[in-house]
Amino acid sequence: AQSVSQHNHHVILSEAASLELGCNYSYGGTVNLFWYVQYPGQHLQLLLKYFSGDPLVKGIKGFEAEFIKSKFSFNLRKPSVQWSDTAEYFCAAWGYQKVTFGTGTKLQVIP
Amino acid sequence: DAGITQSPRHKVTETGTPVTLRCHQTENHRYMYWYRQDPGHGLRLIHYSYGVKDTDKGEVSDGYSVSRSKTEDFLLTLESATSSQTSVYFCAISESGPQHFGDGTRLSIL
Beta pairing, strands A73-78 & A64-68: antiparallel
pLDDT score of B1: 60
List the helix and strand counts (H, then E) for chain B: 0, 11
Mean pLDDT of A22-38: 89
Give residue A29's pLDDT.
75
Question: Does position B96 have pLDDT exceeding 90, yes or no?
Answer: no
What pLDDT was estimated at residue B39? 86
B39–chain A Cβ distance below 8 A for any pair? no
- Residues of A with CB below 8 A from B31's CB? 97
Q: Is the per-residue pLDDT at A97 higher than 90?
A: no
Q: Write the pLDDT tens digit of every residue in B5-64.
A: 999 999 999 999 999 999 999 999 999 999 999 988 889 999 999 999 999 999 899 999
For residue B39, the SS3 value is coil
Cβ pair B31:A97 closer than 8 A: yes
Pick A101's closest partner by Cβ from B43, B48, B56: B43
Q: What is the DSSP string of B9-30?
A: SEEEE-TT--EEEEEEESS--S
Alpha carbon of residue B60 to chain centroid: 12
Whether the Cβ atoms of residue A93 and residue A27 lie closer than 8 Å to each other: yes
- Asked if B95 is an interface residue toward chain A (Cβ–Cβ < 8 A), one would say no
Partners of residue B92 in chain A, C-beta under 8 Å: 44, 99
Summarize the confidence of residues B93-108 as an average pLDDT. 90
Give the confidence band of A47 by pLDDT, cuts at 50, 70, 90.
Answer: very high
* Interface with chain B: mutation pick from A98, A100, A106, highest number of B CBs within 10 Å: A98
Residues 6+ apart with CB under 8 A from A12: A107, A108, A109, A110
Q: A58: which strand partners?
A: A64
Region A72-88 average pLDDT: 96
With cut-offs at 50, 70 and 90, classify the pLDDT of residue B104.
very high
Provide the chain B residues 46-65 that lie in CB contact (below 8 A) with chain A: 48, 50, 56, 58
Using CA of residue A71, residue A7, residue B46, residue A88, what is the dihedral sign?
negative
Q: Where is A98: in which H helix or E strand?
A: strand A98-101
